[in-house]
Amino acid sequence: MKGMVYLVGAGPGDPGLVTIKALEVLRRAQVVVYDQLANPSLLSEAPAGAELIYVGKKAGAHAVPQEGINDLLVTRARAGLTVVRLKGGDPFVFGRGGEEAEELAAAGVRFEIIPGVTSAIAVPAYAGIPVTHRRYTTLATFVTGHEDPTKEEGTIPWANLGRNPGTLVFLMGVKNLAENCRRLMEEGKPPDTPAAVIEKGATLEQRTVTGTLADIASQAQDMGIRPPAILVVGGVAELRDKLKWWETRPLWGKTVVVTRSREQASRLVALLAAAGARCLEIPTLEIGPPDDYASLDKALFQIKDFHWIVFTSANGVSAFMERLFGQGKDVRALGGARLAAIGPATAEALKLYGLIPDVVPQSFVAEDLAAALAPHIFPGTRVLLARAQVAREVLPETLEKLGARVEVAPVYKARPPASLAPEAETAIREGRIDVLTFTSSATVHNFAVLLGKERFQALAEKAIVAAIGPITAATLKEYGLTPQIQPDSYTIPALAAAVIDYFGGEK
């Protein structure tokens, strides 16, 4: 069995710029050999059992020397494995991908090149700087900012660059920034030529400093610019003031805590991050099986006897279906039962199984679900309530008062995690939290357990607090906290929009 190596460009910092083909091979990789500049979130695309090997390089510190990287690729491929060599930007633009491909070819190892969006064009674009523009230049030149120090003679044609009328883009040049600028001016480039330095481009930590060729190095030093960074020299750099967009989004620079479970956080994180927020996931719920399946198994055995099956969360839908299918049944087993969902997210979860709920209330709380069901409930109506093991009792109690025979079947249990992750602990200790978001009463209670009540209150007093709806807001008030943000519609998109609108007003 022959192995295969894919030399894959991960693109610049924004993981959304990775190509479809790159994701396709990453999702079937058996080994991933990745760089410092490849966004670590892309590693989650690899299969659960894949071997992840970090070989990142920083100035003066290489996790694995280049010869070791070459050997890794060859030996893993010769073992018959599918290897993804994940490199920041494009593998053939100052990425040493050509050298690695040469080694693979010499070793007789099959390989394929998957280009990536190079930071040479993407990072200036994220800073609002087009590398070409008809009014300014039709020429762009990419230059390494730190040439191989082992060369006997440099190969950068400084005299040509000094006379070059186009845009110059220097990659990886922070260490030599002042020297590179000096060489350009020495070779004829006007000192007042617009210039910009962009640190950690296309990420949520991007910083940009603008100036002229004469002063850009000192300005970058004053701002404490650190690698990785790109230097852009040319008239196009002056367009940044008009074209900057990445750093002007409403949540730029804000750190937002997302307290949903890991399984549920992705949608809220995506919406907030699209508005520029740095999202810090502090899951307060871990979704797992209930302590006992007896009630649910009994209900599934008698499933055709129920008139209504009521779901109060998307988690409840997936857990219910998993148990149903595990017993060798499918949705036909639901027979003539009608379905109710507490809100649109739960309704969408049902639609994944080809099921359309008969009742979805206007507001997404238990009281309104009970009110929406009331016209359909008569003495003797049998209702199966598939919900979390620990939940408010208002729904079953209300339906029973109307004469329904309600059977509560716990389908999952939401447990608090054991402790805070180190990253979260550090951010809280350093006071870097701007917004706290809560999507249920359980997230509030469990967050208080994780931090301790007093620490929770102290943190919330300095941050903006957002609650998804009135029940969650009422739970916050139990801790003496009043949320500043609460959407009219109790959904994740509405919560994200409310947070964005709150800070958008400041802009």
Give, for all 507 residues of the chain, the pLDDT tens digit.
689 999 999 999 899 999 999 999 999 999 999 988 778 889 989 999 999 999 986 655 556 888 999 999 999 999 999 999 999 999 999 989 999 999 999 999 999 999 999 999 999 999 999 999 999 999 999 999 876 545 567 789 999 999 999 999 999 889 899 999 999 999 999 999 999 999 999 999 999 999 999 999 999 999 999 999 999 999 999 999 999 999 999 999 999 999 976 666 788 999 999 999 999 988 887 788 999 999 999 999 999 999 999 999 998 999 999 999 999 999 999 988 999 999 888 999 999 999 999 999 987 788 889 999 999 999 999 999 999 998 889 999 999 999 999 999 999 987 778 788 888 889 999 999 999 999 988 899 989 999 999 999 999 999 999 999 999 999 999 999 999 999 998 889 999 999 999 998 554
> Residue 174's domain is classified under what CATH number?
3.30.950.10
Q: Does residue 35 carry a catalytic annotation? A: yes
Do 358 and 434 belong together in one domain? no
Record the tokens describing residue 430, joined without a space: 């350093």
Do 217 and 359 belong together in one domain? no
Q: Residue 232: helix, strand or coil by DSSP? A: strand
Do 280 and 229 belong together in one domain? no
Do 138 and 237 belong together in one domain? yes
For strand 61-62 and strand 57-58, is the pairing parallel, antiparallel, or unpaired?
Answer: antiparallel
Do 23 and 87 belong together in one domain? yes
Alpha-carbon radius of gyration of the chain: 28
Contact in structure between 303 and 377 (CB atoms under 8 Å): no
DSSP per residue over 173-201, as a string?
A: -STTHHHHHHHHHHTT--TT-EEEEEEST
Q: Does residue 57 carry a catalytic annotation? A: yes
Residue in 4, 14, 87, 172 annotated catalytic:
172
Q: Residue 416: helix, strand or coil by DSSP? A: coil
CA distance 433 to 456: 12
Out of 117, 139, 173, pick the residue that ends a domain.
117
Do 100 and 167 belong together in one domain? no
Residues 129-181 have pLDDT tens digits of: 999 999 999 999 999 987 654 556 778 999 999 999 999 999 988 989 999 99
Please give the tally of structural domains in the chain: 4
pTM exceeding the 0.85 threshold for the entire prediction: no
Residue in 57, 175, 244, 413 annotated catalytic:
57
Q: What percent of the chain has pLDDT over 70?
A: 96
> Residue 56's domain is classified under what CATH number?
3.40.1010.10
Do 405 and 427 belong together in one domain? no
Out of 99, 117, 135, pick the residue that ends a domain.
117
Do 35 and 140 belong together in one domain? no
DSSP per residue over 86-98, as a string?
A: EESB-TTSSSSHH
> Residue 268's domain is classified under what CATH number?
3.40.50.10090
Contact in structure between 44 and 12 (CB atoms under 8 Å): no
Do 440 and 411 belong together in one domain? no
In the prediction, which pLDDT does 58 show? Answer: 61
Out of 80, 99, 117, pick the residue that ends a domain.
117
Do 281 and 425 belong together in one domain? yes
Residue 401 CB burial class (10 angstroms; 0-12, 13-18, ≥19): exposed
Residue in 14, 35, 90, 434 annotated catalytic:
35
CA distance 164 to 281: 47
Do 134 and 30 belong together in one domain? no
Residues 187-204 have pLDDT tens digits of: 999 999 999 999 999 999
DSSP per residue over 341-408, as a string?
A: ESSHHHHHHHHTTT---SB--SS-SHHHHHHHHGGG--TT-EEEEEEESS--SHHHHHHHHTT-EEEE
* Residue appearing with tokens 């049902």: 350
Contact in structure between 134 and 107 (CB atoms under 8 Å): no
Contacts of 25 (CB under 8 A, 6+ apart): 6, 8, 82, 84, 114
Domain span holding position 109: 4-117
CA distance 376 to 357: 14
Do 135 and 241 belong together in one domain? yes
